[in-house]
Amino acid sequence: MPAEERLFSLVLALLSTESGLTKSEILANVQGYRQRYTPGGDNASLERQFERDKDDVRELGIPLETIETPGASGNNQTLRYRIPKGEYDLPLDVRFTPDESALLSLAAMAWREGALSADSRRGLLKVRSAGSEDDGAEHDAEGPSAIGAYAPRLRTRDAAFEPLRSALDRAAAVRFAYITPGHHEARVRELAPLALVQHGGRWMLAAHEFATRSEKNYLLSRIVGPVTQSAVGQHPAPADAGERALAGLDGVWAERTATVHVAPGSDAERRLTRRRDTSSTTDGELVIHHVDPQILAEELAAFGPEVRVVEPEELRQRVVDRLRVLVEDHTGGPDRGTSAAASAEREEASRG
């Protein structure tokens, strides 16, 4: 279950009780927890997930209260949690029709993959938990509502995202096949996930690699095949792992630059000029930042003749290599493509 759905189920459960629910009652009955709850068993990882979710609910501005049981002061196991409905209700002058509520939910579904801001998530939770007097109505005076026929989803995450997030929640190790930049064959990696972060519009996994005993970042789009878990509960991630991973990526971004010449008025000029931290040289060339040279080479090669790499030479060669492959793919294979690719390389070299 996606985290936002689990949080919604938690908020709804805590709104529906006056006396509050204990942690055990929440884990055993609330959607998103009960599927993994083991009565009388080891639920330590599930309890940690609840603690994180509880913090997330409060960060969203939702008034989550704790109530101590009389005679059991200080006993965390008997603490009861609730959300006072009167403090969370929508203002009296704010009401939504069933279609308006449906449209808000559809918009959230479209952006459910992490693009919603904290304010948007807070508003959505409040609207959904408040409900509507006509929520159960599936038809209006003119027939079936058109809203119910649509359920948009914008999948901005890679297929590996959910199993990796599950492994983080369960403090488990993972195993998957990964294609290293510059290689065509995948190699199996065994890791302890630390954090899932988005940087430069791409999702990455920060993880401790067992083979090298070092921390590395893995691009989710380069993971091929299934992600399997092992050693559940044995590899909890530090609380600040995400912040450290992003800080490290920002450091690499700041250090790695490339100078490119772009055709005036071209799509490349428009796009690369707007790229974060891009600057111009006195000669009118662009200095752009990047984290992964392979990814940047793919992006620049896609602009074709609109871009020429000035430096570094390694990046320039990566772009040329991609152009050579492109020529081969469109000239009947490597035999016929060799001369054409060489011509493309000579043309690229002749431009500076």
Distance CA 173, CA 150 (A): 38
295 neighbors 204 (Cβ within 8 angstroms): no
CATH code of the domain occupying 161-241: 2.30.30
- Where exactly are the structural domains of the chain? 3-149, 161-241, 256-350
- Nearest of 197, 259, 193 to residue 229 by alpha carbon: 193
Per-residue pLDDT tens for 288-341? 999 989 889 988 999 999 999 999 999 999 999 988 888 888 776 554 444 444
Q: What is the pLDDT of residue 183?
A: 73
299 neighbors 260 (Cβ within 8 angstroms): no
Give the chain's residues under pLDDT 70: 1-2, 71-76, 87-92, 94, 104-157, 182, 332-352
Taking CB atoms within 8 Å and a gap of at least 24, the contacts of 334-343 are none
Q: What is the pLDDT of residue 209?
A: 94
Structure tokens at 121: 């998530």
Q: What is the pLDDT of residue 42?
A: 87
Distance CA 144, CA 121 (A): 29
Angle at 299 (CA atoms; ends 298, 302), nearest 5 degrees: 85
Looking at 43-90, which runs of residues are DSSP E strands? Answer: 65-67, 80-82
Q: What is the pLDDT of residue 150?
A: 40
Q: What is the pLDDT of residue 116?
A: 44
- Nearest of 80, 7, 1, 76 to residue 36 by alpha carbon: 1
Q: What is the pLDDT of residue 31?
A: 85
Per-residue pLDDT tens for 61-109? 788 888 887 766 666 677 899 888 776 666 667 677 777 777 766 665 5
337 neighbors 328 (Cβ within 8 angstroms): yes
